[in-house]
Amino acid sequence: MKALILAAGRGTRLASLTNGRPKILMPVCGVPMLERLLAGLGRGGIIDVAINTHHLAEQVSAHVERIADRFPELNIRLFHEPELLGTGGAIANLGDYRDQSPLLVWNGDVLADCSAHALFVLHFDTEALATLVVKEREDASQLLIDGEGTLCGIDSPARGGRRTVREPEGELRSVGFCGISILAPEICARFDKPGAFDLLDALLDVVADGGTIGTLDLRRGFWGTSGSPEELSQLEKELNGRPETLVRFTP
């Protein structure tokens, strides 16, 4: 099983804490986020891990070299982006690495009670072209899903407001995207285009063209992000109260 950790961003909201360090190497409860993600992915059955880099890429590369022998079960590859390619362009930049197997895409600032293995099982049990992890939470952008958990639209000021691109089965419900998804190879093949683009925008285009995008609702399951100083503080507080989750993401 393959995964991509999205780690190229500048982490501008964490600027007061990073001090010239890439966000993916920020400590979370004393351990760099990258190491926590590698540990969690490995325990979830992932074998091949791609990491995209841009901001302070040399630090990420050097860190991976130092810790590689601590993750012997993982084949880790770095994919540098001289210019930021966005969450969709990062997938296109993987080229042949994607091959004909589904790809787990995990934001580099997110931890969640979500096993990679369980997510792959759910994805394979459906005919969806992609499966997105979602949760009812406050977020400026809200995905619109129907009673079957199928993606039908989005409500986002940054994307022109509320719009539906698929007729729902039952009433629509608003949920936040958790930054974790599995993409079928048919989806990845559509991403072979140059330049930067956003993954959610590309997936909404797939839905508009008749494709089915499913979801996994975390409901009361844990989800947290290190995107800002306040979010990082909250993430560490919650992890310290959830020893089983902390252990899952500890090398």
Pairing mode, strands 103-107 and 2-6: parallel
Lowest mean pLDDT among 16-25, 195-204, 213-222, 233-242: 16-25
Whether the per-residue pLDDT at 10 is higher than 90: the answer is: no
Task: Please give the sequence-ordered ranges of beta strands (E in DSSP) within 184-222, or none if there are none.
Answer: 213-217
Cβ neighbors of 122 (< 8 A, separation 6 or more) are: 131, 214, 216
As a whole number of angstroms, the distance between CA 245 and CA 251 comes to 12
Segments making up each domain of the chain, as ranges: 2-248
Predicted local distance difference test score (pLDDT) of residue 14:
75
pLDDT of 12 over the 80 cut: no
Please state which CATH class domain 2-248 belongs to: alpha beta
- The residues facing 53 across adjacent strands are 80
Q: For 159-170, what is each residue's pLDDT tens digit?
A: 889 999 999 999
**Residues 66-101 pLDDT 10s:** 999 999 999 999 999 999 999 999 999 999 898 889
pLDDT of residue 188: 86
Q: What is the rounded distance in angstroms from the CA atom of residue 162 to the CA atom of residue 106?
A: 25
Task: Give 220 or 135, the one with higher predicted confidence.
Answer: 135
Q: Is 178's pLDDT higher than 90?
A: yes
Q: What is the mean pLDDT of the chain?
A: 94
pLDDT at 116 > cutoff 80: yes
Instruction: Kindly report, residue by residue over 168-177, the tens digit of the pLDDT.
Output: 999 999 999 9
Interatomic CA distance for residues 30 and 36, integer angstroms = 10
Q: Which residues pair with 76 in a beta bridge?
A: 49
Residue 224 pLDDT grade (very low, low, confident, very high; cuts 50, 70, 90): very high
Instruction: Mention every residue, 6+ apart, whose C-beta is less than 8 A from residue 240.
Output: 29, 246
Task: Count CB neighbours of 129 within 10 A.
Answer: 22
pTM comes to 0.96
Please report the pLDDT score of residue 177 as a whole number. 97
Listed range (41-45, 105-109, 156-160, 245-249) with the worst mean pLDDT: 156-160
User: Is pLDDT above 80 for 13?
Assistant: no
Task: Give yes or no for residue 111 having a pLDDT over 80.
Answer: yes
